[in-house]
Chain A
Amino acid sequence: MSATGMTLDSGLTVQRDTVARALRRTTRIGFAMLALLLVYLTYTWFAFDVPALIKSAKPEQAALLATDAVAHKVHVTRLLRRGTTSIAIEGERTATYETPPDWVAVDGEKLTIDMEDGYTVTMRATSLTLDVPDYGLIRVSVQDGRVITELPPGRKPDWLRATSAKFDARPDLSRRVQVSRAKMEVHRYFAGWENFFFPFRSPLSVLTAGELLDLALSDEELEPGTANWLLILDTFWTNPDWQHGNVFVALLETLLMAVLGTFTAVFVALPLAFLAARNFTPSGPVRFFVRRLFDFVRGIDMLIWSLIFIRSFGLGPLTGALAIAFTDTGTLGKLFSEALENIDRRQVEGVNATGASKLQSYRFGVIPQILPIFISQGFYYLESNTRSATVIGALGAGGIGLMLVETIKTSRDWENTLYIIILTVLMVIVMDALSTRLRRRFTGDR
């Protein structure tokens, strides 16, 4: 081997050693970071008290909510003191059946309720029997103000609770039987949202889509003085169970907050951004002042702005719009001023060389360069503010956020909550798609 070959070889070895050492170092750093991460996550595991949460979590509660959100139940209720029986959707008086549905057979005081899958309930004056497949017949009666339960022999199933005050059987998620001293109540679940389009009492609720279309086109007015299609629309819009009209107004309120807030922020931030950019404002103190102003309004955060504005302007979309506008003026102002500092001087100088006035040099030298950033950031924030507006709404500013908080708090009908959630998410997805589209259009990148 020649002398040059040996130096080359040893040089390579040295280099390989350096590379290997550097690699080992980055691997070590990588593992150290991972270990730190694990330590931190372990710490928060206990700081958040996850073990206690797991212990107290109720997965069956979530399953109940999920069932309730996509199904509705029909109550068959017998009040023992008055001896009256009613069959109503969700137990609501406005949705009571006048003639019993075909799964309830009435024979004087005796009611035979077909609960499907082999389950049958037979209700008498003060007692009922529940026939459970693969288990047997459960007899429940109310005597002298006490609930008496007779179970078939064998182990008591865990879906059943029976005391002298209350009997509650829930063999699965789609049926439930309760007996107390005052009443006997049977719930049977059906898939789907009830009376989504028209209220139970409305004559429209029994029509099919084709019949509705015929009705809308016919001249024979169902309610004299109102066109049929208007009546159909109005009945849908004012449906008391679903409140389509109110939900729509709330969505609009949220959108209004987002649009007004974003636009205001964009138009206030633009002129201020010139004052914060080094190449447009030579005065140091002015720059410093405007930049700190941006930091200030951004740092205060939407939460605090909302709380302050709620105090002075009350609840409503104006409050939300102003909170968004204030926070985003800071964020957008900072972004715009950075964009202004990075513009290409040559275009401005070229315009100046033609003898343009100061205003003209801004208009033709500067604005065309920052307009794409300006528009694209504006739309980006419009989308993100649609989401923020739902949260601000929940703080009390109104709109769909507040409506959501209220329906969850009352937690009566989870299908209403699901409906609002679906509409909100759809609204955000539509705004997202729209803003991406418009951004691409205006900035010309495809």
Chain B
Amino acid sequence: MIASAHLRDEILQMKRRRQLYSAAIVVLLTVVMVGGYGQANEMNSGGFISGLAKFFDYPGEIVAEAWDAGAAFPGLLWRFLPALIETLNIAAVATILGGLGAMVFAFLGASNLNVWPPVVPVARRIMDVMRAFPELIIALFLIFVLGSSPIPAMIAVAFHTTGALGKQFSEVNENIDTRAVEGLGACGASWFQRMRFAVLPQVLPNYLSYFMMRFEINVRASAILGFVGAGGIGSELRRTIGWGQRAGDETAALFVLLILTIFLIDQASSWMRQRIAQTEALT
């Protein structure tokens, strides 16, 4: 009896403490959110309340102008297709080059593959720094040096991708089943053979799914970088929005293209990841 009463007291005490913590966190979050939004609203050039009334004005304007364009609208879509392809190319090349770099760093930075132990922490730190660099900084700098072109955006996105994918890849590498590697090693396989026949088959499916996710992220990033002068659909958007007045139909066409593309890539990548997960589960 006494023991159970003691236990009950202890549980109640724990419960009270947890409730206190939860309450403290809720209060803290509320303060941060309310204070933050108040501060943000003050710093903003337009207010929230007055903006809310205008919220649908701009989208409405664009849609109306697109509607006015009528039969010419598909032609606009066709006209901006090259810009879209350029953005997709930026994202694809950046993801491929970044992915290749990431594979190198991931092998160097995985503690269980014994490529060269002293280099493991170095590779990890390099990946950390590459990941931390906002694409914008590199893109702006390279645009200044090389001029407006897709290349600065591509290099900027590839740089960040190397760090971001490298971290995910090296986590995949560290989670592999090492028995296959040891088994091949026991048969006298060389380092290269062990990687080719024991490691790659285990990691490639996961690499592919991270790669697809990154491609989607990079399409968005490339579109945004276009807006600061890196070419592709972003630069077209900057032009049509900058002109303001009567370019609403063009803006609408660009929005439609971008949204459709992102939607398609999103669907394709989640379908592919599901398939990879299923084949993984079967084997």
A interface list, Cβ under 8 A from B: 37, 40-41, 44, 47-50, 53, 56-58, 61-62, 65, 253, 256-257, 259-260, 263-264, 295, 298-304, 307-309, 311-319, 321, 387, 390-391, 394-395, 398, 401, 404-405, 408, 411, 417, 421, 424-425, 428-429, 432
The answer to whether A411 and B144 touch (CB under 8 A), given A40-B92, A44-B89, A432-B131, is yes
The answer to whether A48 and B133 touch (CB under 8 A), given A317-B43, A411-B144, A432-B128, is no
What string of 1s and 0s marks CB contacts (under 8 Å) between B208-239 and chain A?
A: 00000000000011011101100000100100
CB distance from B242 to the nearest CB of A (A): 11
Chain A residue numbers with a CB within 8 Å of B144 are 65, 408, 411
Whether the pair B237, A424 counts as a contact (CB closer than 8 A) is no
Whether the pair A429, B128 counts as a contact (CB closer than 8 A) is yes
Chain A residue numbers with a CB within 8 Å of B137 are 390, 404, 421, 424-425
CB distance from A33 to the nearest CB of B (A): 11
Q: Classify the secondary structure of A's interface with B.
A: helix
Closest residue on chain B to residue A392 by CB atoms: B224
- CB contact between A307 and one of B32, B41, B150, B241 (< 8 Å): that residue: B241
Whether the pair A304, B258 counts as a contact (CB closer than 8 A) is yes
Quick check: is B117 within 8 A (CB to CB) of the other chain? no
Whether the pair A308, B58 counts as a contact (CB closer than 8 A) is yes
Closest residue on chain A to residue B244 by CB atoms: A311
CB distance from A186 to the nearest CB of B (A): 27
In the bound complex, how far is the Cα of B89 from the Cα of A58, in angstroms? 25
In the bound complex, how far is the Cα of B45 from the Cα of A318, in angstroms? 9
Whether the pair A316, B40 counts as a contact (CB closer than 8 A) is yes
Chain A residue numbers with a CB within 8 Å of B92 are 40, 44
Whether the pair B96, A65 counts as a contact (CB closer than 8 A) is no
Whether the pair B132, A53 counts as a contact (CB closer than 8 A) is no
The answer to whether A318 and B259 touch (CB under 8 A), given A48-B149, A48-B150, A259-B36, is no
Whether the pair A316, B140 counts as a contact (CB closer than 8 A) is no
Quick check: is B266 within 8 A (CB to CB) of the other chain? yes
Whether the pair A313, B46 counts as a contact (CB closer than 8 A) is yes
Whether the pair B48, A391 counts as a contact (CB closer than 8 A) is no
CB distance from A323 to the nearest CB of B (A): 11
10 contacts between A and B (CB under 8 A): A41-B93, A58-B145, A256-B36, A304-B255, A304-B259, A312-B46, A314-B44, A401-B136, A404-B140, A424-B137
- CB contact between A260 and one of B33, B146, B259 (< 8 Å): that residue: B33
In the bound complex, how far is the Cα of B43 from the Cα of A314, in angstroms? 10
- CB contact between B132 and one of A65, A321, A398, A432 (< 8 Å): that residue: A432
Quick check: is B70 within 8 A (CB to CB) of the other chain? no
Chain B residue numbers with a CB within 8 Å of A298 are 262, 266
Chain B residue numbers with a CB within 8 Å of A58 are 145
CB distance from A441 to the nearest CB of B (A): 13
Closest residue on chain A to residue B233 by CB atoms: A303
Chain B residue numbers with a CB within 8 Å of A308 are 58-59
Closest residue on chain A to residue B241 by CB atoms: A307
Whether the pair A395, B45 counts as a contact (CB closer than 8 A) is no
Chain B residue numbers with a CB within 8 Å of A316 are 40, 43-46
CB distance from B39 to the nearest CB of A (A): 7
- CB contact between A303 and one of B40, B52, B96, B234 (< 8 Å): that residue: B234
Whether the pair B33, A295 counts as a contact (CB closer than 8 A) is no
Whether the pair A312, B45 counts as a contact (CB closer than 8 A) is no
- CB contact between B54 and one of A295, A311, A398 (< 8 Å): that residue: A311
Whether the pair B37, A50 counts as a contact (CB closer than 8 A) is no
Whether the pair B48, A313 counts as a contact (CB closer than 8 A) is yes
Quick check: is B177 within 8 A (CB to CB) of the other chain? no
Quick check: is B55 within 8 A (CB to CB) of the other chain? yes
Chain B residue numbers with a CB within 8 Å of A319 are 44
What string of 1s and 0s marks CB contacts (under 8 Å) between B163-203 and chain A?
A: 00000000000000000000000000000000000000000
In the bound complex, how far is the Cα of B32 from the Cα of A296, in angstroms? 28
Whether the pair A256, B136 counts as a contact (CB closer than 8 A) is no
